[in-house]
Structure 1
Amino acid sequence: MTKRSEAKYKLDRRMGENVWGRPKSPVNRREYGPGQHGQRRKGKLSDYGVQLRAKQKLKGYYGDISEKQFRAIYTEAIRLRGDSGANLIGLLERRLDAVVYRAKFVPTIFAARQFVNHGHIKVNGRRVNIPSYQVKVGDVIEVKDKSKEMALVLEAVSLGERDVPEYIEADHGKKTAKFLRVPTLTDVPYPVQMEPNLVVEFYSR
């Protein structure tokens, strides 16, 4: 098992939820946390604990973004006008690796980050290898010609466990996707409940 898979499954076990909705998640068999004391860690969380858990879950969902990066996204979210929690979700969903994952060009968010890093993606015809790149409404994201027949891409396109959300228009024949609009929380197909308002509360303590 790769280090990425171990980290991914560990997050599922720690949260006690199938965070990505994957059929192979260990939570499908064991809902308690990892480690020898996992089954006894069901105590009631404090307000701080609930907020921390919400942050860990949201941060982990997007490929376990570094704390520095995640805090920078939060800072940008509260700077923007409107609801900070909604802004936070919008900024996370505008990340290039998130759009590549949502468009079903790769099977996991972890694979999406690596796929972008390795230069397989173009935005509006130009190669972009920065996973945190902020996609704008109307941008066209495409898999490079040489990468379109990669096994990883073909596997992802055929996955039936998730659909492409309505705010992305994907053409799996051409391996292109258009970012139509910035989504709201209810638009995003999270397999589990995300609470960005608690994340905002955590950082504003």
Structure 2
Amino acid sequence: MSKRHSTKHKIDRRLGENLWGRPKSPLNARAYGPGQHGQRRKGKTSDYGLQLRAKQKLKGYYGSITEKAFRRLYTEANRVKGDTGENLIGLLESRLDAIIYRAKFVPTVFAARQFVSHGHILVNGKRVNIPSYQVKVGDKIEIRERSKQLGIVLEAVQLAERDVPEYIETDHSKMTATFVRVPALSDVPYPVQMEPNLVVEFYSR
């Protein structure tokens, strides 16, 4: 399992955006990059730089996805019919950890990965502990009975800073969720603008 050693929100300051739209982001207090040169005015970014930044934003948003795993998702998105950028978003949002986060069972994408890894989740009645597990449309996800009263779950359900998107049906009284459909980019409630088309250009170079 990959482990993120740096502080989660450092990526906010490095990219200059509140990636998850959270009130605790350091960017809310210091809207400039980290380090002694963080406040310098930046020059014009090259096309490659824009593409790299778009990839870093999208990859970073989903937590601890490794470069190898992210490239594998891109390869799969490029292999199937349709728009590669839209396909990539659909694959990312079909990950079990992403759905756990979207369903508001946990407060952060990092917590979602850990929650799944620790065996708290059932998919169609069977325990799944692989965060990258690809959920299929119609699959039922639920929190194991003994895990429903965990503080992290009760806290997340009450969070007012985000809503459950329409492509996931959630019953917080039973702690269950159903993956209704694979979303398009316009369906996903990203707090910042994501540009999967630039990610496709990055990998197509």
1:133 paired residue number: 133
Partner of 1:89: 89
SS of alignment partner, residue 162 of structure 1: coil
Q: Kindly indicate whether the alpha-carbon contact (under 8 Å) linking 1:4 and 1:110 is maintained by their aligned counterparts in 2.
A: no
The residue aligned with 1:31 is: 31
Q: Which moved more, 1:40-49 or 1:132-141?
A: 40-49
* Percent identity of paired positions between Structure 1 and Structure 2: 77
Q: State the distance in 2 between where 1:70 and 1:25 align.
A: 25
CA distance in 1 between partners of 2:87 and 2:103 (Å): 21
Q: Which amino acid aligns with 1:150?
A: L
Report what 2:98 is aligned to: 98
- Residue 33 of structure 1 contacts residue 41 of structure 1 at CA under 8 Å; is this kept in 2? no
Separation in structure 2 between the aligned mates of residue 151 and residue 83 of structure 1, nearest angstrom: 40
The residue correspondences of 1:1-205 to structure 2 (distance < 5 A) are: 6-40=6-40, 42-205=42-205
User: How many residue pairs were aligned?
Assistant: 203
**Maintained 8 Å contact 1:138/1:178:** yes
- Contact 1:16/1:32 (CA < 8 Å) preserved in 2? yes
| Alpha-carbon separation, structure 2, partners of 1:111 and 1:43 | 36
Higher mean displacement: 12-21 or 27-36: 27-36
Q: CA deviation at 1:42?
A: 1.9
Counterpart secondary structure, 2:97: helix
- Are the aligned partners of 2:4 and 2:64 in contact in 1 as well (CA < 8 Å)? no
Structure 2: distance between partners of 1:156 and 1:42:
37
Q: Which runs of 5+ in 1 are unaligned?
A: none
CA distance in 2, matches of 1:167, 1:12: 27
Structure 1: which amino acid aligns with 2:150? M
Give the TM-score, by structure 1 length. 0.97
Alignment deviations for residues 48-86 of structure 1 (CA, whole Å, 9 cap, x no partner): 000000000000000031000000000000001000000
RMSD of aligned C-alpha atoms?
1.2
Q: CA deviation at 1:4?
A: 5.6
Q: Is the 8 A contact 2:120 2:147 kept in 1?
A: yes
State how far apart, in whole Å, the 2-side matches of 1:125 and 1:179 are. 14
